[in-house]
Amino acid sequence: GQQVMQIPQYQHVQEGEDFTTYCNSSTTLSNIQWYKQRPGGHPVFLIQLVKSGEVKKQKRLTFQFGEAKKNSSLHITATQTTDVGTYFCAGPRAGNNRKLIWGLGTSLAVNP
Amino acid sequence: DSGVTQTPKHLITATGQRVTLRCSPRSGDLSVYWYQQSLDQGLQFLIQYYNGEERAKGNILERFSAQQFPDLHSELNLSSLELGDSALYFCASSVGGGGNYGYTFGSGTRLTVV
């Protein structure tokens, strides 16, 4: 079936280190969305990428959508304790926009 | 406050019982989605409604049902509850249907079945 894999599942970093999570889909996606869920919180929409090869930045966060629209990455520069949480990617399969296919998330812990 | 309101925030009930979770979408959003999240698990899509009509179904059990009312609020009914149904249930909304728009999530209902 359609799958979106996220790696790594968990990541521990020291504050100030960089962090990257990768999202790989078995099928071409129409777009890729990223969400952040803080511990005890709810998922919060961060960004949507639509175009092949698109790169977007939000302060220390850099999002990329692959050329084939099957993979994506989220890179955080110089992590802070406020970055702690689980990062999910999700996207609808190209040609079937009715459902988002979700990754299982990458949980980030940041040691101060 | 995300604009999506879910009630109640917490619910404790016994096995075999039935509960109703309520969701009011963000103003202007026509789509409502229901998700289940078990401890340290990902988001399991249950069902989607768009402007009152069922649009897509995920891994929703037959014991679960949902509807969206004319005022666009939605209810998720869970019956014959089992211990394994204990989870966080999120409602999300978006302006359009499907996956072309970012979702706004509510703060969730934590269901504990004892």
Over residues A67-101, the pLDDT tens digits come to: 999 999 999 999 999 999 999 999 998 887 778 99
Contacts of B85 (CB under 8 A, 6+ apart): B78, B111, B113
Question: What is the model's pLDDT at position B40?
Answer: 67
Q: A105, A104, A108, A54: which is closest to A76 by C-alpha?
A: A108
Give the whole-angstrom CA distance, residue A74 versus residue A63. 5
State yes or no: pLDDT of B55 exceeds 70.
Answer: yes
- Cα separation of the two ends of chain B: 30
- Cα separation of the two ends of chain A: 40
pLDDT, tens digit (0-9, with 9 covering 90-100), for B13-48: 999 999 999 999 999 999 999 999 997 678 999 999
Contact criterion met (CB < 8 Å) for A102 and B43:
yes
Question: What is the model's pLDDT at position A99?
Answer: 84
How much of chain B, in percent, has pLDDT values that exceed 70? Answer: 99
DSSP for A72-98, please give it: EEEEESS--GGG-EEEEEEEEETTEEE
Contacts of A84 (CB under 8 A, 6+ apart): A38, A39, A108, A109, A110
Chain B residues in contact with A33 (beta carbon < 8 A): 99, 102-103
Q: Tell me, yes or no, if B48 comes closer than 8 A to chain A by beta carbon.
A: yes
Q: Tell me, yes or no, if B95 comes closer than 8 A to chain A by beta carbon.
A: no
Question: What is the model's pLDDT at position A96?
Answer: 77
pLDDT, tens digit (0-9, with 9 covering 90-100), for A27-58: 999 999 999 999 999 999 999 999 999 999 99
Q: Tell me, yes or no, if A33 comes closer than 8 A to chain B by beta carbon.
A: yes
Q: Tell me, yes or no, if A109 comes closer than 8 A to chain B by beta carbon.
A: no
Interface-testing mutation among B37, B43, B101, with chain A (most A C-beta atoms within 10 A) = B43
State yes or no: pLDDT of A1 exceeds 70.
Answer: no
Question: What is the model's pLDDT at position A2?
Answer: 60
Contact criterion met (CB < 8 Å) for A45 and B107:
no
Does residue A61 sit in helix, strand or coil? Answer: strand
- How many CB pairs below 8 Å do chains A and B form together? 62
DSSP B59: S
User: Amino acid letter at A103?
Assistant: G
State yes or no: pLDDT of A26 exceeds 70.
Answer: yes
C-beta separation of B6 from B22 below 8 A: yes
